[in-house]
């Protein structure tokens, strides 16, 4: 093979590219109608890290695992050393910390935007505990996704809920270490079907800014309406220095959690193009966390993660 002038840049780019694996992507999952089990699916946090270690072994670009508190830290802060031990055992690190403020029954009408001040306090305390877990695991990013919203017109004070969100995110930001970041994710619908409190990138941008200087926006490629120009959103967020990370997957309709690049690989290519174009012009690397957010019912868990990592490298 002849040595072209661009070849060292290509190898350097591939050697330094990293994409984070989701712990929940290795466990049995399902739909709102039921769960389909796989013989090889992880049934414990230790097995999740074992599977992630296998993916990193074969790809070399997946050295960290995003974790979900409650699912991976059943005893909260008390589980931290145990989880760190699993990570060390299987040759990976603990990545982004994902609080869970949607599963418990108290969150039926929201978390940080719940009309009940006791529920808002419980949600905030959980996020603060997750920030402390992140300090102990050395995790940079606290990744926030909320199901808050309403399903019928007139049943929620949307402006008041926006205010509660700003207050909760500010309180969370104030407890972070100087090296931590708060990533605010958005989603247009589900499970709330009239209004979602953080429904698009503009809402996430305003709330991330309200949180504080280390508040950034997280873009999930599945969380958009059909035909939406995601790479334009990426460009605007880059220009505002507000793009913090991605949850990569693919979709045919909405939040389908399909393997990266299986439906529209050129969309991810166009996203990477905008990021690299920005970096070339700015003369610096963008501080973006590349993460996978996929959960497959039919495909093998380890296999599809390897396939996704390979697709990300190619794109």
* CA dist., res. 66 & res. 50, Å (int): 14
Residue 7 confidence (pLDDT): 72
Residue 4 confidence (pLDDT): 55
More confident residue, 34 or 278: 278
Enter the pTM of the model: 0.94
* CA dist., res. 119 & res. 111, Å (int): 6
Three-state helix/strand/coil letters over the chain: CCCCCCHHHHHHHHHHCCCEEEHHHHECEEECCEEECCCCCECCHHHHHHHHHHHHHHHCCCCEEEEECCCCCCCHHHHHHHHHHHHHHCCCEEEEEECCCCCCHHHHHCCCCCCCHHHHHHHHHHHHHHHHHHHHHCCCEEEECCCCEECCCCCCCHHHHHHHHHHHHHHHHCCCCCCCEEEEECCCCCCCCCEECCCCHHHHHHHHHHHCCCEEEEEECCCCCCCCCHHHHHHHHHHCCCEEEEEECECCCCCCCECCCCCCHHHHHHHHHHHHHHHHHHCCCCCCEEEECCCCCCCCHHHHHHHHHHHHHHC
Q: What are phi and psi of 289, to 5 degrees?
A: -90, 115
Q: Are 251 and 259 in contact (CB under 8 A)?
A: no
CATH fold of 68-287? TIM Barrel (3.20.20)
Burial class (CB in 10 A: 0-12, 13-18, 19+), 12: exposed
257-306, pLDDT tens digit by residue? 899 999 999 999 999 999 999 999 999 889 999 999 998 888 899 999 99
Residues 6+ apart with CB under 8 A from 35: 28, 29, 297
Task: Please give the C-alpha separations between residue 38 and each of 29, 35, 107, in angstroms, as whole numbers.
Answer: 9, 10, 30
What average pLDDT does this structure show over 83-109? 97
Plot region of 276 (φ>0 → left; ψ -120 to 50 → alpha; else → beta): alpha
pLDDT surpassing 80 at residue 5: no
* CA dist., res. 235 & res. 311, Å (int): 22
What average pLDDT does this structure show over 45-74? 96
Burial class (CB in 10 A: 0-12, 13-18, 19+), 3: exposed
Domain boundaries, the chain: 68-287
Task: Please give the C-alpha separations between residue 261 and each of 52, 115, 216, in angstroms, as whole numbers.
Answer: 20, 40, 25
What average pLDDT does this structure show over 129-151? 98
Confidence of residue 39 (pLDDT cuts 50, 70, 90): confident
pLDDT surpassing 80 at residue 250: yes
Which neighbouring-strand residues pair with 258? 250
Give CA angle at 125 (120, 129), nearest 5°. Answer: 150
Q: What is the mean pLDDT of the chain?
A: 94
What average pLDDT does this structure show over 17-29? 94
What average pLDDT does this structure show over 2-16? 73
Q: How many CB atoms neighbour CB 298 within 10 A?
A: 7
């Amino acid at each position: 093979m002849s040595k072209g002038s661009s070849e060292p840049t290509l190898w350097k780019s591939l050697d330094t590219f990293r994409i984070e694996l989701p712990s929940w992507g290795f466990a049995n999952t399902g739909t709102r109608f039921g769960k389909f089990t796989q013989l090889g699916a992880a049934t414990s946090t230790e097995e999740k890290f074992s599977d992630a270690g296998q993916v990193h072994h074969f790809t070399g670009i997946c050295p960290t695992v995003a974790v979900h508190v409650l699912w991976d830290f059943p005893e909260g802060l008390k589980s931290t050393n145990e989880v760190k031990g699993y990570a060390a055992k299987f040759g990976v690190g603990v990545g982004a910390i994902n609080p869970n403020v949607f599963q418990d029954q108290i969150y039926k009408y929201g978390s940080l935007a719940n009309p009940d001040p006791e529920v808002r306090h419980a949600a905030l305390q959980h996020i603060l505990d997750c920030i402390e877990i992140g300090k102990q695991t050395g995790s940079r990013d606290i990744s926030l996704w909320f199901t808050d919203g309403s399903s019928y017109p007139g049943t929620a004070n949307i402006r008041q809920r926006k205010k509660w969100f700003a207050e909760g995110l500010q309180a969370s930001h104030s407890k972070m270490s100087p090296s931590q970041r708060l990533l605010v994710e958005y989603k247009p619908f589900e499970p709330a079907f009239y209004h979602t409190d953080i429904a698009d990138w503009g809402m996430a941008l305003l709330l991330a800014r309200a949180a504080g200087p280390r508040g950034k926006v997280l873009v999930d490629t599945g969380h958009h309406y059909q035909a939406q120009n995601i790479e334009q959103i990426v460009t605007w967020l880059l220009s505002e220095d507000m793009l913090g990370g991605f949850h990569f997957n693919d979709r045919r309709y909405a939040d389908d959690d399909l393997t990266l690049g299986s439906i529209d690989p050129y969309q991810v290519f166009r996203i990477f193009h905008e990021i690299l174009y920005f970096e070339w012009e700015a003369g610096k690397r963008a501080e973006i966390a590349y993460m996978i957010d996929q959960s497959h019912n039919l495909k093998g868990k380890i296999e599809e993660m390897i396939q996704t990592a390979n697709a990300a490298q190619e794109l």
